[in-house]
Copies of this chain bind each other. A is one copy, B any other.
């Protein structure tokens, strides 16, 4: 076996899937947008069939909704309907570091530290999109701290479902520069805390830190959407 045929087909599927999901989560495909299977097929130089395979999965995961005769529509999100998702995300965050914890090696640890530099650079030139990307890389690094496959899979699902709401909320604010700056500071603090916890080998502490930060992040978003009454 030359080792390429079938694996190539599979990797292509994963590539298209990851790309489309990324576009949805970065709001390149904003909620409500209609995707055309034929356009996507043309972009990836294939027919509708493999594209439909990807769209079906994204629909199963709640990112899309295909309606016969109408189109494939990016699902809408709002902070209220995501409350349950966040509640579960908070719980799962704590489980990372508790179930099948994996101590990172030197190289992995260096990747964590590199995020601190990226945060600092971002502070000089704030950009919501770049922030979202760093946040995503950080998340994936965190997932390497547990070997529990189902936990990783579910956490990833919840993460991608909730990450859109941040960019959407930020885009709505008239002066979102302040919020962005503040969020970047919060985030850098979280990364620093977690790096410290990792360095002292307290993987379970990582889970607790992460849990509280996810919860607080949601609280801030929620407050932003629901101006408090006296």
A residues in contact (CB < 8 Å) with B? 5-6, 9, 53, 56-57, 60, 67-68, 84-85, 87-88, 91, 95, 99-100, 147-151, 154, 157-158
Distance, CA A53 to CA B95, complexed state (A): 33
* A157 vs chain B, min Cβ distance (A): 8
- Is the beta-carbon distance between A148 and B56 smaller than 8 angstroms? no
A85's closest neighbor in chain B, by CB?
B150
Specify how many copies of this chain sit in the oligomer: 2
- Is the beta-carbon distance between A84 and B147 smaller than 8 angstroms? yes
Distance, CA A88 to CA B57, complexed state (A): 23
Distance, CA A167 to CA B5, complexed state (A): 37
- Is the beta-carbon distance between A150 and B84 smaller than 8 angstroms? yes
Distance, CA A68 to CA B147, complexed state (A): 29
Q: A57-B56, A60-B57, A158-B150 are in contact. Are A87 and B100 (CB under 8 A)?
A: yes
- Is the beta-carbon distance between B68 and A9 smaller than 8 angstroms? yes
What B residues does A100 contact at CB under 8 A?
84, 87
What B residues does A5 contact at CB under 8 A?
68
B6, B87, B157: the one within 8 Å of A99 (CB): B87
Distance, CA A60 to CA B148, complexed state (A): 17
- Is the beta-carbon distance between B84 and A149 smaller than 8 angstroms? yes
